Structure 1
Amino acid sequence: MLKKNKLQYLVCSLMLVLFTASCSKDNDTDNGGSEQGKEQYVSVAPAASLTKAQLQVAASASGFGAFTSALQYDVDYFKLTYNTTFNGKTIQASGLVGIPKNMTAAPAILSAQHGTMFADADAPSNFPASSTGFELFASAGFVTVIPDFIGFGVSKDIIHPYYDMQSSGIAVVDMIKAVKYYLKSQSKSVSSKLFLIGYSEGGYVTMAAQREIETNSSHGLTVTAAAEGAGGYDITGMLAKIGTATTYPSPSFFSIFIQSYNSLYGFNRRLDEYFNDTYAAKINSLLDGSKNGTQINNELTTNLTGTNGLFNPTFFAALNNASAEPAFKAKVAANSFPNWAPKSQTRLYHGTADADVFYETTQNTYNRFIAAGATSVTLKPITGGTHATSVVPMISDALPWFILQAQ
């Protein structure tokens, strides 16, 4: 879950400097390399090449000037297509890969997961026409992997599995494996260190990927460190608090969340069982990939209850009724990271004034991890931070932490 935030301002800035950028001449390939990731890898296609100076200009113009000293390398960017598993079937998914140039030591891999998006045009693999901001990490010396997520890029015809733990995690892991195979096939060395970072929905997806890696040794991956921001991991707690509220600033989040669960888990209920009739009739067309979050919010309402509230009154009342909506709530609970706590070094970030993804969702998750015996998890509250303003403080802490551990 994520409002438009500072990371997305990078789009305009990058477009200003791209007039001097040229595309890499690498061709699609599927030769050689380690067997691990061979099943996942499909192809790469060049996206753009940017110099260190161009990336520093883009960072400064976008309000990320504090990070320019960390940007040390020119970068080649590629669109990568890979195989992953969704609903028991093999599908193709996609994302962006940034590879730093002329490093003297083998770089680590960093997988960066973006926040909630709605428009097909915003998919990371459309770079440089779109940008998440995480592209900058490649210039800091990391092979940077930015998945589109299922439902975007080459998989845009699938309804995005929003806040689904299993499919979210495996889609990230499979892209990492495909990238490792591609790099090996090109005789490009990488270190064994693996970093994960994400914000908002991306924070949730990052935790899902971390869980997938830590609970399934067959992937052959080990997380060095993970930084997860404002991820709404405790979905049960999030919905319970919504059930006591009268307004909510980003109704688009609930349109995509309920559409996703209704389809993915086979509930297949009429949307007017969840939403007020006025809005139920709009949801599917609003989520057709042609509109961004702001446009969708403008077509909905921030009022949750009342005659013209967002939700069907019966469904809204069920959010705080323990015996109501048992099937829906069972899926919510199953996707709230039950019976697991991180083993690898983990930092959880969240703004204490976040009105979009409540701070309590991270606090509750942290408390549960500690109660389960986790010794490597740190909570990093961002005092007074909102959903939009907490991104920079998080990266200001996480990037130096990653760079130090990558050495």
Structure 2
Amino acid sequence: MILTFASKGYVVSAPDYAGYNVSKHLDHPYNIPSELANYSVDMLRATKELTKKLKIMTDSKLFLTGWSEGGGAALATHKAIEQKYSKEFNLIATSPLAGPYDLPSMFQSDTLDLEGDDLGENAGIYNWTLYSLLKFSNIDVPLEKVWNYEVKSSLDALSPPSSKLSEIINLPFLQEIIMNGDNEELSSVLEQLNLISGWTPKAKIMFHSGKNDDIVPHFNTLNAYNRFKMVGADVTLYEYNGDHYTPDLEYLTTTIKDFGKLSRQK
């Protein structure tokens, strides 16, 4: 995808988040919006400096896109730029696919009622998200009480010994502090993962989502689209009959087309 956008004449800034490459000794802040936005903004700054050093001529128009965690990162970066860096960047539009924009609803939905149900390949993804939430929130929740096995790192969370939620996690404890909101501090942190409340986007957003997505449920995109539409934002919704992966080509070609139209506007 990076090469595809580059082949269309875009200068592409693709951040290598903490936890990878030279920073592999760090925990990756999986699905933590503020962290991902900070990395993305820093990478955009570095990219601007590089284009100056290499004497590459560009215009000032900025477009953001991403898929899955990258979709959440794109919307988080959109929000950060408009709220904190609007004088630094000329943001035109964001086009994310299948991002976790409404994580509180995911945590507080029936996901935590699936005691005994097999989550299959999604178990590690959900487990990693939960680990990151606890790791980067600095709240006093003992990890040994959350999991039924030893979890000391992102890799431990991503590779659970079972795909059954009840065998991985101490569900009664987790339901008590998250679903019932007994831990006010955790509830507050969880709400900070919400990318759709408390602001009105100014630049255009084109949401993409597969209606049969069983990894990042489709309601994330629907909730985001409906919320932003209600507050008067310029939003478009592209829905596909596929799952988390199958809309990738349509999303890519549609995003290139939409960005192209916007880039030609004065």
Matched, 1:317 2:175: yes
Corresponding residue for residue 198 of structure 1: 66
Corresponding residue for residue 351 of structure 1: 210
Q: How many residues align structurally?
A: 259
The 8 Å contact of residues 137 and 144 in structure 1, kept in 2 or not, is answered as: yes
The 8 Å contact of residues 351 and 390 in structure 1, kept in 2 or not, is answered as: yes
Point out the structure with the larger strand share: 1
Matched, 1:367 2:226: yes
For residues 138 and 215 of structure 2, the distance between their equivalents in structure 1, rounded to whole angstroms, comes to 27
Decide which moves more: 154-163 or 174-183: 154-163
Corresponding residue for residue 9 of structure 2: 141
**Which stretches in structure 1 are left out of the alignment for 5+ residues?**
1-132
The 8 Å contact of residues 348 and 377 in structure 1, kept in 2 or not, is answered as: yes
Provide the identity percentage.
27
The 8 Å contact of residues 248 and 356 in structure 1, kept in 2 or not, is answered as: no
Instruction: Give the deviation of 1:211 after TM superposition.
Output: 0.6
Instruction: Give the deviation of 1:370 after TM superposition.
Output: 1.9
| 286 and 188 in structure 1: CA distance in 2 versus 1, 3 angstrom threshold | closer
- Deviations 1:61-105, CA, capped at 9 Å, x for gaps: xxxxxxxxxxxxxxxxxxxxxxxxxxxxxxxxxxxxxxxxxxxxx
- Equivalent residues in 2 for 1:86-101 (5 A)? none
Instruction: Give the deviation of 1:320 after TM superposition.
Output: 6.8
**Which stretches in structure 2 are left out of the alignment for 5+ residues?**
none
Q: What is the TM-score with the length of structure 2 in the denominator? A: 0.88
Matched, 1:300 2:161: yes
Structure 1 SS opposite 2:12: strand
The 8 Å contact of residues 350 and 382 in structure 1, kept in 2 or not, is answered as: yes
For residues 322 and 154 of structure 1, the distance between their equivalents in structure 2, rounded to whole angstroms, comes to 40
Corresponding residue for residue 387 of structure 1: 244
Matched, 1:216 2:74: no
Corresponding residue for residue 406 of structure 1: 263
Point out the structure with the larger helix share: 2
Aligned residues: CA RMSD: 2.2
Name the aligned partner's letter for residue 256 of structure 1.
W
Corresponding residue for residue 131 of structure 2: 259
- Equivalent residues in 2 for 1:143-222 (5 A)? 143-217=11-85, 220-222=88-90
For residues 69 and 168 of structure 2, the distance between their equivalents in structure 1, rounded to whole angstroms, comes to 21
Corresponding residue for residue 272 of structure 1: 144
| 169 and 339 in structure 1: CA distance in 2 versus 1, 3 angstrom threshold | same
Corresponding residue for residue 101 of structure 1: none
| 243 and 218 in structure 1: CA distance in 2 versus 1, 3 angstrom threshold | same
Larger-Rg structure = 1
| 328 and 247 in structure 1: CA distance in 2 versus 1, 3 angstrom threshold | farther
Instruction: Give the deviation of 1:210 after TM superposition.
Output: 0.5
Choose between structure 1 and 2 for higher RCO, CA contacts under 8 A separated by at least 6 residues: 2
For residues 344 and 232 of structure 1, the distance between their equivalents in structure 2, rounded to whole angstroms, comes to 20
Corresponding residue for residue 113 of structure 2: 244
The 8 Å contact of residues 27 and 154 in structure 2, kept in 1 or not, is answered as: no
The 8 Å contact of residues 352 and 386 in structure 1, kept in 2 or not, is answered as: yes
- Deviations 1:312-362, CA, capped at 9 Å, x for gaps: 121343377333333222211112123013211111111111111100111
Instruction: Give the deviation of 1:163 after TM superposition.
Output: 2.0
- Equivalent residues in 2 for 1:272-291 (5 A)? 272-275=144-147, 277=148, 280-281=149-150, 283-284=151-152, 287=155
For residues 35 and 61 of structure 2, the distance between their equivalents in structure 1, rounded to whole angstroms, comes to 23
The 8 Å contact of residues 71 and 99 in structure 2, kept in 1 or not, is answered as: yes
- Deviations 1:123-168, CA, capped at 9 Å, x for gaps: xxxxxxxxxx423221121111111112223332221122222221
The 8 Å contact of residues 104 and 194 in structure 2, kept in 1 or not, is answered as: yes
